[in-house]
Amino acid sequence: MAATDTPRTRITWDYAPAPESPDHVRLRDSYGLFIGGAFVDPRDGQRVPSINPATEEPVAEVAFGGAQDVAAAVEAARAAQPRWAALPGRERAKYVFRIARLIQERARELAIVESLDGGKPIRESRDVDIPLAAAHFFHYAGWADKLRYGVAGRETAPYGVVGQVVPWNFPLLMAAWKLAPALACGNTSVLKPAETTPLTALLLAEICQEAELPDGVVNIVPGDGTTGAAVVRSDVDKVAFTGSTAVGKDIQAALAGRGVGLTLELGGKSANVIFEDAALDQAVEGIVQGIFFNQGHVCCAGSRLLIQESVADEVTAKLWDRMRLLRVGDPLDKNTDVGAINSAEQLERIEALVEAGVEEGAVRRSVACDLPERGWWFAPTIFTEVAPAHRIAVEEIFGPVVSVLTFRTQAEAIENANNSRYGLAAGIWTDKGSKAFEVARALKAGVIWQNTYNKFDPTAAFGGYKESGFGREGGAAGLRPYLRVS
């Protein structure tokens, strides 16, 4: 029997179901667009159901905005902007702080809705997404009256009206990354949530009302790519986009020559580098966290696993053992590690790339698990015998799939890690501090973790190199994209 097939324990036992109850969630049946401080009917948009990816059942109906709706939202933001910018920083801070407190107050409800609408495990929405969203608002509330300190004492002015387009993988958190610095700096916003996950952004709209944020400071217009394209092409002063590199390129082309500010947070194919002197058991936990967190729907996922050849078999065997313990299923169950894939379309993309990996000759192993009959699911998967030119080593899969490559020397590790058109993040696992610093300096990646992975903090700047985009979110660096500095 191969080492990887050895049962970890003779005792077979299982967890009892531990579902979080959605009973106290107060969702409306139907949501309008949030424009000028009120929920309104779409002018030229439509109403569509938002689907629970774990059951394929509708959660609530949501209005999608058309071009006229986007124009109305921009108008509302434009009208509100001078008074918002004229408020003393400490007054703006109070509103941003209030939003943070209200997110905390409604944390349980927000976490459940995030899992219902997007498919992520409740443990992650409860312990990561929602607390970090609140932390972002708290952090930028603190900056609102200290903006000059964030830009080396120079004069600052807000951009004006910002158009913000976010993806579906961290819906509320991405909205917080966008809105918190924009508001602190005196901008007003038109935010477009992703088509498959608009609900927590709409609850955030309610929170803005509860916080008595002046009307028009935040406007939320859900919709698909057409709505996003309308936001980008509207009369905004700055665009902040998080999403795929293909759409990022389209936006950059659309804005060329218009003098509109732009930041792009795009895709990645991040290297997680395991040296032979690393604490291997800890590294295995880091690998799991790096690629299976949020079903691998993470821009900075450690999807390219580079292992030093001398320990490659050992690490791969330990990883496979650990992967077999992952619990895939009901996102609302507190024991679930890997939830539902966000949409049928995303599942198709994952399946197509995994098929390409097999066709190109890599060796696939997927964890045998009972996947629910309804909904969209993909079992945690590892590819070995991967060559650097294989599509699964080059393209972003955005699913629970890790590709293993090996290296012999430090120089080769650096070369392989940088051999990507992306440059968003990387992980380095080693016992030697000097080696970690040396390698980190040589890597072209915006965020580099040492002996950990996927750790986020509102005080730390996040952003990419190369085709992973430009501009930084988080910390003092995250103020710069929302200020004109003279």
The answer to whether 408 and 415 have CB atoms below 8 angstroms apart is no
**Least Å from the CB of residue 178 to ligand NAD:** 10
Does 396 participate in binding ligand NAD (rule CB under 6 A)?
yes
As a whole number of angstroms, the distance between CA 375 and CA 425 comes to 31
Closest distance of CB 394 from ligand NAD, Å: 14
Binding mask 342-371 for ligand NAD (x = CB under 6 A): ------------------------------
x/- contact string, 412-451, with ligand NAD (CB under 6 A)?
------------x---------------------------
For residues 325 and 335, the answer to whether their CB atoms sit within 8 Å is no
> How far is the C-alpha of 73 from the C-alpha of 55, rounded, in Å?
33
Q: What residues have CB less than 8 Å from 319, skipping those under 6 apart?
A: 284, 287, 288, 382, 402
Fill in the amino acid letter for 256.
A
- Contact flag: residue 229 with ligand NAD (CB under 6 A): yes
Is 359 a catalytic site residue?
no
Q: Which of 4, 104, 209, 244 binds ligand NAD (CB under 6 A)?
A: 244
Q: Is 293 in the site for ligand NAD (CB under 6 A)?
A: no
Determine if 398 is a binding residue for ligand NAD (CB under 6 A): yes
For residue 72, list its beta bridge partners: none
Q: Is 478 one of the binding residues for ligand NAD (CB under 6 A)?
A: no
Residue with smaller CB distance to ligand NAD, 226 or 335? 226
Q: Would you say 249 or 374 has its CB closer to ligand NAD?
A: 249
CA neighbor of 235 nearest in space, from 316, 323, 336, 163: 163
Binding of ligand NAD by 168 (CB under 6 A): yes
What's the closest the beta carbon of residue 350 comes to ligand NAD, in angstroms? 12
CB of 299 to ligand NAD, least distance (A): 3
Least separation in angstroms between CB 139 and ligand NAD = 17
Interface residue with ligand NAD, options 52, 115, 164, 169 (CB under 6 A): 169
- Could you tell me which residues come within 8 angstroms of residue 97 by beta carbon, excluding any fewer than 6 positions away? 137, 138, 141
Applying CB under 6 A, among 70, 76, 130, 247 the residue interacting with ligand NAD is 247
Question: In sequence order, what are the residues at sequence separation of 6 or more whose Cβ sits closer than 8 angstroms to the Cβ of residue 430?
Answer: 275, 277, 278, 436, 439, 450, 451
* C-alpha distances in Å from residue 235, one per residue of 56, 76, 77, 230, 258: 37, 12, 11, 10, 10
The single residue listed with the structure tokens 């918002």 is 84
Burial class (CB in 10 A: 0-12, 13-18, 19+), 225: middle
- Under rule CB under 6 A, residue 232 binds ligand NAD: yes
Q: To the nearest whole angstrom, how small is the minimum distance from the Cβ of residue 471 to ligand NAD?
A: 10
**In the bound complex, what is the minimum distance in angstroms from residue 19's beta carbon to ligand NAD?**
28
- By the 10 Å C-beta count (0-12 exposed, 13-18 middle, 19+ buried), 474 is classed as buried
263 sits near ligand NAD (criterion: CB under 6 A) = no
Binding-site size for ligand NAD (CB under 6 A) equals 30
The residue (of 431 and 457) whose beta carbon lies closer to ligand NAD is: 457
Per CB under 6 A, 35 contacts ligand NAD: no
Instruction: Specify the residue, 247 or 392, whose C-beta has the smaller distance to ligand NAD.
Output: 247
Interface residue with ligand NAD among 66, 267, 375, 427 (CB under 6 A) is 267
Q: Report the alpha-carbon distance of residue 427 to residue 447 in Å, rounded.
A: 9
Residue of 114, 299, 396, 467 with catalytic role = 299
Smallest distance, Å, CB 301 to ligand NAD? 8
| Residue of 265, 395, 467, 473 marked catalytic | 265
Amino acid at 114: E
β-partners of residue 261 are 238
Q: Is 299 a catalytic residue?
A: yes
Phi–psi pair at 429, nearest 5 degrees: -115, 110
The full 3-state SS of 254-284, as one line of letters, equals: HHCCCCCEEEEECCCCCEEEECCCCCHHHHH
Question: By the criterion CB under 6 A, which residues form the site for ligand NAD?
Answer: 165-169, 192, 194-195, 224-225, 228-229, 232, 242-244, 247, 250-251, 265-268, 299, 396, 398, 424, 464, 468-469
Residues belonging to the active site: 265, 299
